[in-house]
Structure 1
Amino acid sequence: MNINQIVEEAVDFRRELHRFPELSDEEFETSERIQKQLQALDIPFETGFAGTGVLAIIEGKHEGKTVGLRADIDALPIHEVSGESFSSENEGVMHACGHDAHTSMLVAVGKVLMERRDEIHGTVLLIFQPAEEKSPTGGSQRMMDEGIFKGREPDVLLAQHVWPGLPVGQFGVMAGPIMGNSDRFKLIIKGSGGHASMPNDTVDAIIVGTQVVNALQTIVSRNSDPFEPAVVTVGKFQAGSQHNVIAETAEIVGTIRTQSNEMKALVKERFHKIVDNVTEAMGASVEIEYLDGYPATVNSGKWAEHMHGTISKLYGEEALPDLRPSLAGEDFGRFLLKYPGVYYWLGTSIGEGQKPLHNPSFRVNEDAFKYGIEAMSQGAIDTLETLKENQH
């Protein structure tokens, strides 16, 4: 097996996917491209889960348990300005979160595992999941609801995500929460508009809205435990139409991120009370739309330690720095509510000039592909070996 050739082919496929990104629930060509790759490798697969999802099945030479490996396949509604020679050709759509890398690396893992089938005790499922970016619905729950694991329940699930904050050759593996609860909200504040010179005859929706925004910041600063992560972010505030007209309505959109379910419940309760009471006190009314998003991504302690061991054997302890969790949301968290597993980060920093995930200039260091492919394929084999040993 020539790992360098496999890596080179993975990079080529990643660039193809990057040029033709597709939004959540619209990954039709992406799905076709994945299927062609699997056909060329003689890996059996099934399609249609959550619309465009694909499940490939690799049977090892020996009987055993089942491990699932997941990659997300959708892109974001972002206009790319990365300067890459293989930049997006689909206007306003970009792989700004590395899902193209995840997908191409998982196909490459399939190549590796097909060549190492005599080392596999059991079954490996390659899960190509759509709509990861479509919070709060996502694609993982729909895949499970549509029976992707019927008759082949995984004993352990693994997923990796490119991480621009880590240098190539390093990984982020941790037990417990690694990604956060990601809820979102939309407020429509209704006041009473009028002439700018006569504010006494109005209820200014802009003034009410600014008070709501300010008051929401007290949830984190005064209600939450300082040692419990929580973030309340207002990402959009729209109101008003003219310089001489007092706004009748204001729209406020934002997100709430927490790690524990207890903190999520506290912040949600305080959010509703503050919004209701502030608007009422100022003579306005409000419509609240609160969407419970992805649950926190919580890794199994046992399997996080196991993946840590696999990576340590491959690259040494120095490849595993001690890191803190992120409050970014991740649809893989829903898989982990039902099945034990590990979600870990793969260092992909380009160094100076690196932009964060979801940035229109986001870039991935393709030197990381060798590490991602090796770690995930070895992780699958090691996991099945441990599951076999635990049977006896």
Structure 2
Amino acid sequence: MIDINQQLSDLTDEIISNRRFLHENPELSHNEKETSAFVQRKLHEYGINFEADFSGYAVLGIIKGNKPGKTVALRADMDALPIQEETDVSFKSKKADIMHACGHDAHTAMLLGAGYILKQMQKDLEGTILLVFQPAEEDAPIGGSQAMIDSGVFSTYEPDVIFAQHVWPFLKPGLVGVHDKEVMGASDRFKITLEGKGGHASMPHQTSDAVIAAGHLITSLQTIVSRNLDPMEASVVTISMLEAGSVPNIIPKTVTLQGSIRTFQPHIQKRLKERFFAITNQIAEAFGTKAEIDYQEGYPATINTPKWAEIARRSAQTVYGESATPDLNPALAGEDFGRFLQKYPGAFIWLGTQIENENEQAPLHDSKFQIDERALPKGTKLLVQLALDALKELKQEEDYV
């Protein structure tokens, strides 16, 4: 096998350069044309075979080892967010209101780097490595993973296991978050339109006040979690948008509320949805209004396969040391990788990328989000180690059988 550390030493500037180019040139979900072209150019430059005639702008890199074996997939997402960047880095976004505020530029750069190193190992690989570059991860609840699967991204090479890593701003570089099962939550979205009867603010008795109904509804929806679920079953119902009225002396006819429901388990997700509809319709009726509900079931929960989570934990400890994988609670943020894990075993892990001044660390999806770029070669090495460890585990299983 080649010296991975020497390869990384030679490649680090390239990985950082690739990340900065992507950061300067972000593209939104379903518009990743130039990002996809950049990935394809780099794969060609690195001598890695690839396919790109799938849904949207997806790209699949293929590194087929010279020795027979199973197939391991590594996934990175490519899209940015509709956010105006407010950092002072020299490579800030060149596009108004578009920013890589979730680290997908880093994910793509690290996967390209890992692909380069794994390509150098091709003659020794016992199996196949797939480099999965996914568009539209941020386009919840639609996403891009299911479209990739449906369009046959794995029709020729089907993974026996699939992995992804995500930058995590509240973990220091050198630390990795690994969860045995639940990592990220299911994320459903809703829009409620309450229609009442408007009128003059001085004559509320002549109206059916949708604003009052909305106030009671906001409060009542919080009882879904607090009074319908076991306190140990983590879930969140959030109202994040409220639109009502245009002038202070008129009671509006309609009020619109939007938000999300997040949880980990499918049976809890189902229960939350049932109670959501019941409470919304009952509150609307009680105040003489009518509720129109648009409810979209979004990404499923991202739930790791325990066996492969343990392999990822060992890989992280190999790269970073025995203390590199602290116990962490999962997060209820949604992640499109959950759909891959519904079909294939695997694991989704968090890569520590916190900047040196942790007091200035902005969260994901923030206009001031940054990462410590010293984590990039470490994350690249982790992907390489994970791919090799997974192939080794699959080979041992095959030999055992």
| TM-score between both structures, scaled by the size of structure 2 | 0.96
Give the AA of the match of 1:268: K
Match of 2:14 among 9, 17, 35: 9
Matching of residues 271-290 of structure 1 within 5 Å: 271-290=276-295
Match of 2:23 among 13, 18, 37: 18
Match of 2:131 among 122, 126, 130: 126
Give, in angstroms, the shift of residue 120 of structure 1.
Answer: 1.4
- Deviation sequence 1:13-45 (CA, Å, 0-9, x none): 100000110000000011111111111111111
Give, in angstroms, the shift of residue 352 of structure 1.
Answer: 2.4
Distance 2:236 2:221 in 1: 10
Do structure 1's residue 57 and structure 2's residue 66 form an aligned pair? Answer: no
- Report what 1:297 is aligned to: 302
Give, in angstroms, the shift of residue 315 of structure 1.
Answer: 2.0
- Report what 1:371 is aligned to: 378
Contact persistence 1:167–1:349 (CA under 8 A): yes
Match of 1:175 among 177, 180, 185: 180
Matching of residues 224-303 of structure 1 within 5 Å: 224-303=229-308
Give, in angstroms, the shift of residue 5 of structure 1.
Answer: 2.6
Give, in angstroms, the shift of residue 375 of structure 1.
Answer: 0.7
Give, in angstroms, the shift of residue 2 of structure 1.
Answer: 3.0
Distance 2:193 2:9 in 1: 55
- Report what 1:315 is aligned to: 320
- Report what 2:367 is aligned to: 360
Distance 2:114 2:158 in 1: 20
Give, in angstroms, the shift of residue 214 of structure 1.
Answer: 0.7
Do structure 1's residue 334 and structure 2's residue 339 form an aligned pair? Answer: yes
- Deviation sequence 1:243-285 (CA, Å, 0-9, x none): 1100110010000000111211111111101000000010000
Matching of residues 60-79 of structure 1 within 5 Å: 60-79=65-84
Report how many aligned residue pairs link the two structures: 392
- Deviation sequence 1:45-100 (CA, Å, 0-9, x none): 11132210000100112110000000000001111102211111111111000000
Give the AA of the match of 1:367: R
Matching of residues 85-234 of structure 1 within 5 Å: 85-234=90-239
Give, in angstroms, the shift of residue 386 of structure 1.
Answer: 1.1
Contact persistence 1:122–1:384 (CA under 8 A): yes
Give the AA of the match of 1:374: K
Distance 1:152 1:2 in 2: 27
What stretches of structure 1 move > 3 A for 4+ residues in a row? none
Match of 1:325 among 323, 326, 330: 330
- Deviation sequence 1:105-153 (CA, Å, 0-9, x none): 0000011101122331110000000000001111000001000000211
Do structure 1's residue 35 and structure 2's residue 36 form an aligned pair? Answer: no
Distance 1:269 1:82 in 2: 43
Give, in angstroms, the shift of residue 356 of structure 1.
Answer: 0.5
For residue 307 of structure 2, give the secondary structure of its aligned residue in structure 1.
Answer: helix
Give the AA of the match of 1:289: D
Distance 1:172 1:49 in 2: 31
| TM-score between both structures, scaled by the size of structure 1 | 0.99
Give, in angstroms, the shift of residue 314 of structure 1.
Answer: 2.3
Give, in angstroms, the shift of residue 310 of structure 1.
Answer: 1.5
Distance 1:260 1:105 in 2: 31
Give, in angstroms, the shift of residue 390 of structure 1.
Answer: 0.7
For residue 35 of structure 2, give the secondary structure of its aligned residue in structure 1.
Answer: helix
- Deviation sequence 1:291-348 (CA, Å, 0-9, x none): 0000001101111111111121222221110111110100000000000001000000
Distance 1:352 1:49 in 2: 42
Give the AA of the match of 1:41: Y
Distance 2:114 2:289 in 1: 57
Distance 1:220 1:92 in 2: 35
Distance 2:383 2:288 in 1: 57
Q: Percent identity?
A: 49
Structure 1 portions without partners, runs of 5+: none
- Report what 2:3 is aligned to: none
Match of 1:384 among 388, 391, 396: 391
